[in-house]
């Protein structure tokens, strides 16, 4: 089962150069997760032909406007479109107050329920779990409480080797094989050895989202070895001091984090408006960590 990340926006602070503010849609084990929601995200969803009503889970990293000003508009539109199923939101302390005050003054009683989990800043925290996936928050190092998110596929079952499988095997036996068991005959002897009729499980994929943060090696344990890492890279290396002052990261620093955490691929984003042409940012990051790509709006990055 592949996962994919569709970039809906990746500009820092303000929309500029036809680049919107942070938002992306991760689809893992067929479940869509919206991560951050800058102003205009509902328009970006439309533009990318993503049905907003399919989204049941929204993650907000922190309460700087470029990461959440589109949330209340999306909540409101889902209501106006007639949504009835619950919407699950995972965000920083304070988000509940912000949503509540907007709904209060518009005198809106939503026709669906919001389940809002406000993560606590400071620890790795399990936010979501189903039979296939676990999602955690973990602390980043920014000016205000800010969390990264780690999306992990759980270990998968063994795959049936259909070429060798006896045609008449009933479904209950196939499940046994997928669960790693041998199939025994009536005398309790191994009839079909698991190893012979199955292949190893597909790999369990992992994705980590880190925005916004200053360069901080303390985040490495949380993202160690992920298949794909999104890490902010607001500035180029010559703006290193400015990056540190504003609690942001440079391209080189993001690449260093990727290298030290031994991740599979790196996506960089949250580009400062000062950079219209992003190629130099990519080149600089690649000089440290070759498997770097720009998190460009509309682009999709997937893993098998």
Name, in order, each residue with C-beta under 8 angstroms of 49's C-beta and a sequence gap of 6 or more.
none
Judged by CB under 8 A, the residue of 2, 51, 54, 81 near its own copies is 81
Those residues with Cβ within 8 angstroms of residue 84's Cβ, 6 or more apart along the chain or in another chain? 111, 112
Secondary structure letter of residue 239 according to DSSP: G
Of 9, 11, 32, 39, the residue at the interface with its own copies (CB under 8 A) is 39
Residue 111 binding its own copies, by CB under 8 A: no
Residue 66 a catalytic site member: yes
CA–CA separation, 230 and 270 (whole Å): 10
280 Cβ contact list (under 8 Å, min separation 6): 236
- Minimum CB distance to its own copies smaller for 26 or for 91: 91
CA 187 vs CA 169, 179, 181, 190: distances in Å: 18, 21, 16, 9
Our finding on whether 51 is near its own copies (CB under 8 A) is no
Per-residue DSSP letter, 238: G
* 231 marked among binding-site residues: no
**Nearest approach, Cβ of 74 to its own copies (angstroms)?**
9
Helix (H) or strand (E) segment spanning residue 117: strand 114-118
Minimum gap (Å) between residue 26 Cβ and its own copies:
23
CB of 219 to its own copies, least distance (A): 21
Q: In sequence order, what are the residues at sequence separation of 6 or more whose Cβ sits closer than 8 angstroms to the Cβ of residue 162?
A: none
Binding flag, residue 163, its own copies (CB under 8 A): no
- List 56, 66, 238, 283, catalytic entry: 66
Interface positions, 211-230, toward its own copies (CB under 8 A): none
The residue (of 30 and 107) whose beta carbon lies closer to its own copies is 107
| Ordered strands of the 87-91 beta sheet | 114-118, 87-91, 57-59, 31-35, 23-28, 3-9, 300-303
Dihedral of alpha carbons 255, 259, 262, 264, sign: positive
248 has binding-site annotation: no
Pick one of 70, 139, 148, 269: the residue that binds its own copies (CB under 8 A). Answer: 70
CA angle 11, 34, 257 (to 5 degrees): 55
Q: Is 212 annotated as a binding residue?
A: yes
- Name the one range near its own copies by CB under 8 A: 3-11, 88-96, 124-132, 207-215: 88-96
List active site positions. 66
| Binding site as annotated, residues | 62, 64, 66-67, 142, 212, 270
Binding site for its own copies (CB under 8 A): 13-15, 39-40, 42-43, 46, 63-66, 69-70, 72-73, 76-77, 80-81, 92, 94-95, 97-98, 101-102, 104-107, 143-144
| Binding site as annotated, residues for Zn(2+) | 62, 64, 66-67, 142, 212, 270
């Amino acid at each position: 089962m592949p996962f994919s990340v569709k970039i809906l926006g990746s500009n820092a602070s303000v929309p500029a150069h036809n680049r919107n503010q942070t938002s992306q849609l991760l689809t893992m084990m067929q479940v869509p997760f919206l991560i951050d929601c800058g102003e205009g995200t509902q328009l970006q969803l439309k533009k990318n032909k993503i049905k907003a009503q399919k989204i049941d889970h929204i993650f907000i990293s922190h309460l700087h406007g470029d990461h959440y000003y589109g949330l209340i508009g999306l909540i409101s539109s889902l209501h106006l479109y007639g949504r009835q199923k619950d919407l699950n939101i995972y965000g920083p302390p304070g988000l509940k107050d912000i949503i509540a005050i907007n709904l209060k003054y518009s005198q809106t009683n939503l026709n669906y329920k919001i389940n809002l989990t406000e993560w606590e800043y400071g620890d790795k925290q399990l936010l979501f779990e189903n039979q296939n996936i676990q999602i955690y928050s973990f602390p980043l190092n920014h000016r205000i409480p800010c969390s990264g998110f780690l999306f992990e596929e759980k270990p998968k079952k063994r795959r049936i080797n259909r070429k060798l499988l006896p045609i008449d095997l009933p479904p209950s036996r196939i499940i046994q094989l997928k669960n790693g068991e041998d199939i025994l005959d009536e005398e309790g002897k191994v009839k079909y050895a698991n190893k012979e009729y199955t292949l190893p499980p597909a790999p369990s994929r992992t994705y980590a989202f880190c925005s916004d943060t200053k360069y901080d090696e303390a985040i490495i344990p949380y993202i160690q070895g992920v298949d794909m890492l999104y890490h902010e890279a607001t500035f180029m290396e010559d703006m290193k001091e400015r990056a540190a002052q504003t609690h942001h990261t440079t391209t080189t620093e993001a690449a260093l984090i990727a290298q030290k955490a031994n991740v599979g691929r790196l996506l960089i984003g949250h580009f400062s408006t000062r950079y219209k042409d992003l190629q130099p940012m990519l080149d600089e990051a690649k000089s440290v960590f070759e498997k770097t790509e720009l998190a460009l709006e509309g682009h999709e990055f997937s893993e098998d």
